[in-house]
Amino acid sequence: MEPGNDTRISEFLLLGFSETPELQPLLFGLFLSMYLITVFGNLLIILAIISDSHLHTPMYFFLSNLSFVDICFTSASIPKMLVNIWTQSKVITYAGCISQMYFLLLFAGLDDLLLSVMAYDRFVAICHPLHYMVIMNPRLCGLLVLVSTITSVLHSLLQSLMVLRLSFYTHAEIPHFFCELNQVVHHACSDTFLNDMVIYFAAGLLAGCPLAGIVYSYSKIVSSVKGMSSARGKYKAFSTCASHLSVVSLFYGTSLGVYLTSAATHNSQSSAAASVMYMVVTPMLNPFIYSLRNKDMKRALKKSLGGKP
């Protein structure tokens, strides 16, 4: 153990984006607006699905779960960042940091797994339309969400317990606006080899397997659509997948962008700025993506807001 470390560290410092005082009001207003849009937009999606019986189908069941997870995902980091900006404080307690990291990993993993489940749902709907309601019965839908939740809970619990075994210097500054797993681990003063192995293995497994499932589902969908003789049928099949494909592209595109940015520049502030894309922008855009191209969702939203369906 090196001098100057303390296994009972009480707090970390989140350096955020900028220390320039003039930028703090702008950052506060920007992130508060984005957070409120995210929460309000996803709550509207959930309300519309619950209130409209026509949307009580597997596809919208998974969408409502995705919207709920998006609200929780942003709520795990943005409120704390807003409080720090408002109070001009960078402090987060050790317990608060571990808790934040746990919930961020939980909801990020659940987001990823739900997107894979939604791809499977579209695969069954297009490739096996006559058996869709039999295969995607309420029991299976609930089981898919439950398995995704348990998997994500176990992963986030494992990573958090791995961090708890580490020792930290008394003065730990994290150049980010939230307790990002890699940043926290690399600020430890004890050996992190095992943590790094678990992080990379879990990332490959939890990111690679769902992505492989999504690619496989859509390869089968494309093959099935190619075999359709009706142009209208082809258009309808692709239109039901367009929103999901947009969200998948946004989620994986921004996540990959964060990884490439941090790997290429080794600039923590650039990585923090890039993280905003998948942590704030993607959950904020999801309600717009699913509502703008979906007539049923538009009708349900109008009904929920008191307008004519």
Which pLDDT value is given to residue 133?
92
Q: Taking the mean position of all CA atoms in its chain, how far away is CA 49?
A: 20
Per-position DSSP letters for 253-278, written without gaps between them: HHHHHHHHHHHHH--HHHHHHHHHII
Give the start-to-end residue ranges of the domains of the chain. Answer: 10-304
E strands, 99-199, where?
168-169, 173-174
Give the Cα separation of 45 and 64 in Å (integer): 7
Give the Cα separation of 172 and 215 in Å (integer): 41
Residue type for position 268: S
Q: Which residues contact 62 (CB under 8 A, 6 or more apart)?
A: 114, 117, 118, 121, 141, 144, 145
> How much is the average pLDDT of 124-142?
93
> How much is the average pLDDT of 153-174?
90
pLDDT digits 0-9 by tens, 180-218 = 898 899 888 888 999 999 998 998 898 889 999 999 999
Which pLDDT value is given to residue 5?
43
3-state secondary structure of 136: coil
Which pLDDT value is given to residue 3?
41
When mean pLDDT is compared over 2-6, 10-14, 78-82, 246-250, the highest value belongs to 78-82
Q: Which band of pLDDT confidence, cut at 50, 70 and 90, is reported for residue 268?
A: low
> How much is the average pLDDT of 228-243?
78
Indicate the range of 126-135, 207-216, 298-307 predicted with least confidence. Answer: 298-307
Which pLDDT value is given to residue 243?
83
DSSP state at residue 279: I
Which pLDDT value is given to residue 144?
97
Given a contact cutoff of 8 angstroms between Cβ atoms, the answer to whether 173 and 12 are in contact is yes
Which pLDDT value is given to residue 2?
44
What tokens appear for 200 in the block? 């990379």
pTM of the model: 0.89
Indicate the range of 7-21, 60-74, 182-196 predicted with least confidence. Answer: 7-21
Higher-scoring residue by pLDDT: 308, 177: 177
Mean of pLDDT over the chain: 85
Which pLDDT value is given to residue 260?
63
Which pLDDT value is given to residue 1?
39
> How much is the average pLDDT of 87-104?
92
Class for the domain spanning 10-304: mainly alpha
Please report, to the nearest 10 degrees, the dihedral formed by the alpha carbons of residues 206, 14, 183, 208 taken in order: 20
> How much is the average pLDDT of 22-50?
92
